[in-house]
Structure 1
Amino acid sequence: MLLFSTLVGAVLMFPLNMVLLGALGLLLRQRRPRAIWLSWTALALLLVFSTRAGALLLVAPLEMRTPPLASIPPAAQAIVVLSGARLSNAPEYGHQDKPGFITLARLQYAARLHRDGGLPILVTGGKPDGSAESEAAVMARSLHDDFGVVTRWQEQASDTTADNARLTAPILRNAGVQQVLLVTDAMHMPRAVRSFHKQGIDVIPAPTIFFSDERLTLNDWLPGGEGLRRSNYALHEWLGSLWYALRPIANKSR
């Protein structure tokens, strides 16, 4: 199932989705000359969403759903940090795996919240890429080595956001934790909150990484890899939210 979803996701994501749309326009052109507009549309969309300014069309609506955390509520009992991939085999760290850029930003914010409120931290992430070490273990090591923070709990079997919530819930309940600060980036937060609420966990969103609040410069209007990366990430979240919304319907129909 994970392999299938990865393949389907690749087809729906940039740039392959636009390449396929453009190819369809070229194939249909022989029978319907006007179909060439599919190719031109695909090229135009690829150019737009390859800019950081264009990516905001997908990014901003997601990030606007969750404002930054103003203060730590007194009722919060723990901090839950979701994984966001890793950098494997880092030679400058003795070939250990290290948190990816997004994961590192989440850990940095969680460490700050921990210092401000003294709340214990749970990290969650399994081995979706087949690595020997879980992402949770990588995160816990980074919290200790890079931020001087000890992790209280590790959930090391999840492969998806839904798994993060499902497998974290019993750990929290066994520890008597009812309300948590949920740390992930702002784009990912709507889907994460929905997943945790489905498991009956009372979460207070603590988002980080707000791309839509960055100051725009001339470079933001030029196509580049970073614009395409942000567009892809946002599109992944839109598709993921749609899949999570449709999955209960699919399950009922079986």
Structure 2
Amino acid sequence: MNLPGAIGWLSHPALQVALLLLLALILFTFRWRRPGLVAACVAVAWLWVSSTPAFALWMQDGLQNAYVSRDAAAYPTADAIVILGGGTLPRGGLDWREDEARAQATRLGFGLELFRHARAETILLSGGDQALKMAHRLEEQGVPSTAVLTEDESINTHENAVNSAALLKKENLHSILLVTAGIHMPRALASFAHEGIVVIPAPPVDRSLIDSPPWWPKRKALTLTARCLREYVGMWGYRLRGWV
């Protein structure tokens, strides 16, 4: 596992709780009962708090409040629409307009909606794991291949920005509508701006709202907390490396 991957795992509350409980077990083994009890209590408390919708949504708001999604027609025009991989793709083989709300909640679906509203004439798909698959899905929806560029070598947000910027500048495209998840937008926007690209953030509609009592633990809330922590840690790491 590479360093970014290891940091991503370590930022997950479930792993942090497991490590704290392991520490508690070691302390109890050596009869250091009070420190062991403290470690165990901290583990249980952190698992509870990080699993609550109230905490998860607070973390989420801190990342994406500045990037509220709008209707596609409300965005200004740009030279290109850049869609980053990593999100759920709409189902293939179907007209996405049959389930428009679900499609537009995805990065690819919202990027397509921007294209259909003539916000840009070019779509750039970036992400080694999804770029070609996304291009195929857009072709199914009637997007001409001449309007699509693919960048299929990047494995992280930094490489998304570096590789995409090189392609954009080669095509004399300097301003973009950047489509990625709201919580990922701060790091992605900063990475592209660092490469000299004019960025208009265009996150898809957020469907991650958690309908539960705010302080009652829920697995979906724990997942959202983990994603937010990864973004905070990721931004810190990118600043240290001079990538943003």
Same-fold status (TM-score > 0.5): yes
Matched, 1:77 2:73: no
Compute the RMSD of aligned alpha carbons: 2.8
Matched, 1:9 2:8: yes
| CA-CA distance at 1:34 after TM superposition | 4.2
Cα-to-partner distance string for 1:46-100 (whole Å, 9 max, x where unaligned): 12222333311321100113233472224x111000001578xx9x98xxxxxxx
Q: Is the contact made by 1:85 and 1:103 (CA closer than 8 Å) also made in structure 2?
A: no
TM (norm. structure 1) is 0.79
Query: Within 5 A, what are the aligned runs for 1:73-152?
Result: 73-74=76-77, 76-84=78-86, 105-119=106-120, 120-127=122-129, 135-145=130-140, 147-150=141-144, 151-152=147-148
| CA-CA distance at 1:173 after TM superposition | 0.9
CA distance in 2, matches of 1:4, 1:218: 35
The residue type equivalent to 1:79 in the other structure is: I
Q: Is the contact made by 1:83 and 1:123 (CA closer than 8 Å) also made in structure 2?
A: yes
Match of 1:166 in 2: 162
| CA-CA distance at 1:192 after TM superposition | 0.2
| CA-CA distance at 1:155 after TM superposition | 0.5
Larger mean Cα displacement after TM superposition, 227-236 or 194-203: 227-236
The residue type equivalent to 2:40 in the other structure is: S
Cα-to-partner distance string for 1:199-252 (whole Å, 9 max, x where unaligned): 11111111124367x4x6336643332112111111111111111011139xxx
Secondary structure of the corresponding residue to residue 202 of structure 2 = strand
Larger mean Cα displacement after TM superposition, 160-169 or 15-24: 15-24
TM (norm. structure 2) is 0.82
Gap change, CA 1:247 and 1:103, over 3 Å in 2: farther
| CA-CA distance at 1:104 after TM superposition | 7.4
Gap change, CA 1:243 and 1:164, over 3 Å in 2: same
Match of 1:61 in 2: 62
The residue type equivalent to 2:65 in the other structure is: M
Secondary structure of the corresponding residue to residue 33 of structure 1 = helix
Secondary structure of the corresponding residue to residue 183 of structure 2 = coil
Match of 1:207 in 2: 203
Q: Could you list the runs of 5+ residues in structure 2 that have no partner in the other structure? A: 94-101
Q: Is the contact made by 1:86 and 1:103 (CA closer than 8 Å) also made in structure 2?
A: no
Q: Is the contact made by 1:107 and 1:139 (CA closer than 8 Å) also made in structure 2?
A: yes
Count of residue pairs the alignment pairs up? 227
Match of 1:48 in 2: 49
Matched, 1:28 2:31: no
Q: Is the contact made by 1:125 and 1:155 (CA closer than 8 Å) also made in structure 2?
A: yes
Matched, 1:236 2:208: no
| CA-CA distance at 1:6 after TM superposition | 1.7
Matched, 1:189 2:185: yes
| CA-CA distance at 1:9 after TM superposition | 2.4
Cα-to-partner distance string for 1:114-158 (whole Å, 9 max, x where unaligned): 11125221100114xxxxxxx10011111222x333452001110
The residue type equivalent to 2:79 in the other structure is: Q
CA distance in 2, matches of 1:39, 1:180: 48
CA distance in 2, matches of 1:103, 1:16: 33
